[in-house]
Structure 1
Amino acid sequence: MISPDYCVMMARYNAWQNKQMQAALQILPPDALTQERGAFFGSILKTVNHLLWGDRMWMARFDRGAKPNGGVSDSVICTPTLAVWGSERFRTDGRILRWAEQVRSVDLVGDLRWYSGIKQADVTMPMGLCVAHMFNHQTHHRGQVHAMLTAAGGQGWVTDLFLMPQDGPRP
């Protein structure tokens, strides 16, 4: 389904997108980040927090490292400010890239098993599907943030994968 090269490319894309998103969000007034906007998680800050939490949860399953505190309902409050989010995002993007650079083809086959707090049940899914889902989840929520940002009068950022710099950026 997917390859180690795909994982590295998408980890780089994720870091590039998050860096651009952070720059775009830093221009907004702080209250614009916390204003309820009718999105699934409400505000821009809550949505980027959920995205950070989700990436940490998936990475805990993939690399068996630390998982985030709380469940999905707590995901929207994992950082209190954009500045704290930015530093945590940088560290998490580094974790994703390090994992992607070490993953082997054999690591992407077979099943991943975990207990899902959302489903309240054990889940077994193909590893490749889970990795693809993590990268898709990132893109989905950044799209929501992009829409909320531009609706708030902010400037969007370039999201086209083919425009990603080939020599960077790296977290």
Structure 2
Amino acid sequence: MIKVFQQFAYNNLLANHRLLSAAEELQQGEFETKRTGFFPSIKKTLNHNITVDWFYVDALEGGTLGAKAWAVEEPFDNPVDLKVAQKQVDFRLIGICSELTFDMLAQNLQFYRFNEPIGNILSHLFQHQIHHRGQAHAMFAGTSVAPPQLDEFMFSSDHAERARDLEELGLKEADLSNF
């Protein structure tokens, strides 16, 4: 189970990187244009993802950020700055998952209004990311940029497709082969 969470953390980083790289290619105004979705723009959706990441990653690190994580609903006006910040929190999440032990997954973490096992928190966090990335991904269909491939990262046959992403993130193929 530990290896699965570690793999999810790397997949999360790669998917966020690819989606935000596509967002950087949007034409002027497309990032914030109103669209159909739970959060009605790519900007709002991806800003929501990062504020929720800040909340949960901070809690998993033992912090006290709490609801201050989303005090600013849209902290980033452009995908370039959002991509930098998302990468930072994604690497923090990788660090958390790299330190996991089986016993830690069952440990309850008391934070904000929650008292949950760490395994449940991680499962929720990864599902949350996938859920909202999917919404943003669908919104790309109405833009000048084709929705990027977000689900082919971990198979050995996907190496060629992820090589550029790994290079841009400063990772090596070996970082993904430890699973």
Would the TM-score normalized by the shorter structure come out above 0.5?
A: yes
Among 73, 89, 103, the residue aligned to 2:86: 89
CA gap of 1:113–1:139, structure 2 versus 1, over 3 A, is: same
Whichever residue aligns with residue 137 of structure 2, its letter is H
Q: Which runs of 5+ in 1 are unaligned?
A: 116-121
**1:23 aligned partner:** 21
2:30 match: secondary structure? helix
Contact 2:49 2:132 in 1 (8 A): yes
CA distance in 2, matches of 1:129, 1:21: 25
Letter of the 2:60 partner, please give it. Answer: F
Structure 1 position 74 matched with structure 2 position 65: no
State the 1:48 CA deviation: 0.5
Moved over 6 A (4+): none
Distance 1:160 1:82, change over 3 A: closer
Note the C-alpha offset of 1:21: 0.5
- CA 1:111/1:5 → structure 2, altered by over 3 Å: closer, same or farther? same
The alignment's TM-score, normalised by the length of structure 1, stands at: 0.83
Match of 2:111 in 1: 114
CA deviation after TM superposition for structure 1 residue 114, in Å: 1.9
Tell me which amino acid in the other structure corresponds to 2:118.
M
Q: State the one-letter code of the partner of 1:84.
A: D
Distance in 2 (alpha carbons) for counterparts of 1:17 and 1:58: 18
TM-score norm. by structure 2 comes to 0.80
| Number of residue equivalences | 162
Unmatched 5+ stretches in structure 2: 171-179
Q: What letter corresponds to residue 53 of structure 2 in structure 1?
A: D
Structure 1 residues 46-101: Cα deviation after superposition (integer angstroms, max 9, x where no partner): 110110111111111111247377364733x1212211101111111111111111
